[in-house]
């Protein structure tokens, strides 16, 4: 903003506030895609390359479409047009910087950070998914096969003395799974 000669007023502050969402969104989309590959067992460098190649066009097209929306604000006339010109240019520059960072720096940073964080496989959603399957989905599937509950069923899940109990709406105990190994 300083290089463009803009002042720090309400409209430029609003543009910076709005751009925060775009910046975070671009980075999150890139990081999630890279972490998905890492969780599948792909080496971090290869995951960063695959993930950024797969999401790169999406971020680029999102950036172009957001800037296209701002073009009419650049051509507004009169005093209102001068005010909105600062808003549009500030937002467009922030969106362009976000795209640049998301396409260049974020994959490399994600590779280094996720490599250290995911070194032991207990990090991430997979252990939670396995625990849910072991303690909730499998016992409920077994209860449905045995005919104890019929979908759609409303269940109450109770944890008591390191045991997970499943009770249906009619207070019939459907199943119990010990939580200790």
Q: For residue range 29-86, what is the model confidence (pLDDT) as tens digits? A: 898 888 888 888 888 889 899 999 999 999 999 999 999 998 988 888 888 887 788 8
Picking from 23-32, 100-109, 117-126, which range would have the lowest pLDDT averaged per residue? 117-126
Select from 98, 114, 136 the least CA-distant residue to 18.
Answer: 98
Domains of the chain: which residue ranges?
10-117, 130-178
Q: pTM of this prediction?
A: 0.59
CB burial string 120-149: b at 16+ within 10 A, e below? eeeeeeeeeeeeeeebbeebbeebeeeebb
CATH T-level topology, domain 10-117: Multidrug efflux transporter AcrB transmembrane fold (1.20.1640)
Contacts 24+ apart (CB under 8 A), 159-165: 164/135, 164/136, 164/139
User: Please, which pLDDT band fits residue 122 given cuts at 50, 70 and 90?
Assistant: very low
């Amino acid at each position: 903003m300083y290089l463009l000669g803009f002042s720090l007023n309400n409209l430029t502050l609003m543009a910076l506030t709005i751009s925060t969402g775009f910046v975070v969104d671009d980075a999150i989309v890139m990081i999630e895609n890279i972490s998905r590959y890492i969780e599948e067992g792909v080496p971090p460098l290869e995951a960063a390359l695959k993930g950024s190649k797969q999401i790169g066009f999406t971020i680029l097209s999102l950036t172009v479409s957001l800037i296209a929306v701002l073009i009419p604000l650049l051509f507004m006339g009169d005093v209102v047009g001068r005010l909105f010109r600062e808003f549009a240019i500030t937002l467009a520059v922030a969106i362009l910087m976000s795209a640049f960072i998301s396409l260049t720096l974020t994959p490399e940073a994600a590779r280094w950070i996720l490599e250290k964080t995911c070194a032991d496989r207990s990090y991430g959603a997979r252990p939670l998914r396995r625990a849910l399957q072991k303690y909730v989905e499998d016992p409920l599937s077994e209860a449905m096969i045995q005919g104890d509950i019929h979908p759609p069923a409303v269940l109450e899940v109770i944890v008591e003395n390191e045991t997970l109990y499943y009770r249906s709406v009619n207070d019939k105990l459907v199943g119990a799974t010990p939580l200790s190994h």
